[in-house]
Structure 1
């Protein structure tokens, strides 16, 4: 029976010969390794970038309630009852009453929202321009998924007593109340009117950054809104599917057309935004995006494997005479195949690991650079990338696939070469 030492020495000799062959063919080794490392690097970077985009979509989707519908006034595009097209439809409190009474079977709650923009908020030496104060009801926090990190949101007593209290976004609160001051309870001047801060909301840089929330009744009284409203937000009793959403949209447009005297077929008179439809479209887009990045990654891996295979094929072809000499002096075919496979394994492991590490490092670089940048689209600021990283299982799976394919890329040409007769191999 062979001892461990009897097995250990041949293995050591074989590995020494493998490393010697690799060192003697630096250009070939570098070409094979580059194909392996670049393929794996691109796979990980593509997956990381795809995850960054998908995480951004998911974060934005998490900021909304999927059973909410918002209605905005639009402009008519059809003449109706002697009136020309181009009329602006101004929503008012009649729309709120109609939604609550005529659509009670579908609508759980309907609340109006007022908006007053272009204000300046100041405290001490800090002045913030282009501030928007939104007059809201307490249910608004549920509709827009407002997250309170300090204090509270608007409550019914604030509406009843017309209190001048306000909820600040966290970033604006930090600017108005610097050096660790508590914003809640403080006074902020907005448009020449003092407001007491009752709460601070979390924005994460991807919500309406300059939107301050105040009681609906207070905003209506201060800015003379009368019975006009800027938008109507409704919470549905359940999430509507595509057909139900379209049926509700048509029915609601017909009911509203009787109030504001426009054609029921005029689709531009109202803008109805169903967040559930956006959610479905977003989920579909994320699924397509995820599949596309995986397909690109797999194609990149295939190109890397093809590159490794071609180089190994050329390498084995160049060494056919060497294999013939080995066969002539008594080497077994399997020992030659094993040596070639070990060379492939060492090269693919070393350069595959290098490609994986470089890919992970580049993903971290994307996270540190693009992850901290925001895209300003005027009314809001959104992060471009959120956590563009790849999980460990994906890295290891991609590396394992490349290593196995690279090893097999050395096996098949070597097996074909050792099947040649030693005399034919020596002549080649």
Structure 2
């Protein structure tokens, strides 16, 4: 390894590459483009993945939403078109009987006028259990979310969104402990959360205890919809099918009625996205490495031409005592140096491109590519691949250089 620190080694590399600068530059372009493509595509894929993770981030992804609709088939004396209303009993039965269920979260929602002093606005009011914070984590800015005491005592407390705060409260006003009116009933604010996932499911502007919601809207046992979360190992598609079948039995709905219950399987959609991202990353690595290999082969071809041009020089070195190993080593060093130099330039350029992508597409709540970047580990892997490919491709001209006998090399014109 000491030869790498010798000035003569690098002087020879410099002389070899500068004899034909244009050819050396054109040779490096293939590797430069390959690593640039690899870094750029991997960074874009990571940005897309971050965007999806931010979109789904607040939700337990192995989940399905289920709600009641109208029947499409008559059954057991009931006519077609009957509205099906879900109840707390339905939720309890699903929790007890459907295999793979981890949480069942009944939910209610209504639109109401919310008033504070002389400010007012119409917002969605949600009746919820504390369990919601486990399956759809709230990004609390101040205070707390609902707890079991709020449910048991039917407390008139509310957790509001940042949007409500901005509309109903003065700038920099302390929100915790203040009162707002919902349907002319005073509620004490106990928490404020940051809005998120605005396009995922029903909007959540304001949360009050489920039991309090039952009272002020006279809901009784009825629920608007329920969120079913499967265990990590559970098949969420099967959970959805089993839950719907049980609900049909409980509500006297025809087994083949496909309209009576609506659902949105978040786990299934998330699996599609995960599969797409995995495929995209595989394709990125394949295209990037294929381009790198093509670029490295170009370096090998150019080095073969260089060896041909340096046949007499190599013959002189052999006549002066240079061993075949030393000749091979020098050629391989040149190949690895060219490959690494082109690769490092590609990594730097790729980094600039990712910075530009992040500035153009990664800003704001609706960003398409969030924090488009690659990890240090990926950069190291790319560099290792370059060293290995450079070494292997350098062997071809290296063996070519040592295959010529010194006396024949000295005769070469």
Distance 1:394 1:368, change over 3 A: same
Q: TM-score, length-normalised on structure 2?
A: 0.78
Moved more, 297-306 or 220-229: 220-229
1:212-248 residue CA offsets vs partner (Å, 9 max, x unmatched): 1123344445456566432134567996446862663
Distance 1:152 1:14, change over 3 A: closer
Matched, 1:216 2:204: no
Find the counterpart in structure 1 of residue 380 from structure 2.
Answer: 396
Matched, 1:322 2:328: no
Distance 2:135 2:13 in 1: 66
Q: Of 221, 224, 228, which aligns to 1:230?
A: 224
Distance 1:238 1:290 in 2: 20
Find the counterpart in structure 1 of residue 284 from structure 2.
Answer: 296
Distance apart, 1:176 and its partner CA: 4.8
Moved more, 308-317 or 28-37: 308-317
Q: Of 294, 298, 301, which aligns to 1:310?
A: 298
Distance 1:50 1:30, change over 3 A: same
Distance apart, 1:16 and its partner CA: 1.6
Distance apart, 1:401 and its partner CA: 0.9
CA contact (8 A) 2:314 2:409 kept: no
Find the counterpart in structure 1 of residue 351 from structure 2.
Answer: 360
Find the counterpart in structure 2 of residue 266 from structure 1.
Answer: 257
Three-state SS of the structure 1 residue aligned to 2:251 is: helix
Find the counterpart in structure 1 of residue 127 from structure 2.
Answer: 135
Distance apart, 1:167 and its partner CA: 0.9
Mark the runs of 5 or more structure 1 residues left unpaired by the alignment.
376-382
Distance 1:402 1:225, change over 3 A: same
Distance 1:175 1:40, change over 3 A: farther
1:338-379 residue CA offsets vs partner (Å, 9 max, x unmatched): 43333323222222222222323433444444333334xxxx
The within-5 A match list for 1:125-204 is: 131-155=123-147, 158-159=150-151, 163-170=155-162, 172-173=164-165, 176-177=168-169, 179-188=171-180, 195-204=187-196
Moved more, 352-361 or 50-59: 50-59
Three-state SS of the structure 2 residue aligned to 1:374 is: coil
CA contact (8 A) 2:158 2:207 kept: yes
CA contact (8 A) 1:47 1:294 kept: no
Matched, 1:257 2:251: yes
CA contact (8 A) 1:341 1:410 kept: yes
Find the counterpart in structure 2 of residue 379 from structure 1.
Answer: none
Q: CA RMSD in A?
A: 4.0
Distance apart, 1:150 and its partner CA: 2.4
Distance 1:343 1:124, change over 3 A: farther
CA contact (8 A) 1:70 1:274 kept: yes
Distance 1:412 1:23 in 2: 21
The within-5 A match list for 1:238-249 is: 240-241=234-235, 245=239, 248-249=242-243
Moved more, 208-217 or 38-47: 208-217
CA contact (8 A) 1:109 1:235 kept: yes
Distance apart, 1:313 and its partner CA: 0.9
Q: Of 43, 51, 54, which aligns to 2:49?
A: 54
1:296-331 residue CA offsets vs partner (Å, 9 max, x unmatched): 224322322222322431342255143235415736
Find the counterpart in structure 2 of residue 14 from structure 1.
Answer: 9
**How many pairs align?**
404
CA contact (8 A) 1:141 1:153 kept: yes
Q: TM-score, length-normalised on structure 1?
A: 0.76
Matched, 1:91 2:85: yes
Distance 1:143 1:318, change over 3 A: closer
Distance 1:327 1:62 in 2: 66
Find the counterpart in structure 2 of residue 72 from structure 1.
Answer: 67
Three-state SS of the structure 2 residue aligned to 1:113 is: strand
Distance 1:314 1:347, change over 3 A: closer
Q: Of 26, 30, 39, which aligns to 1:35?
A: 30
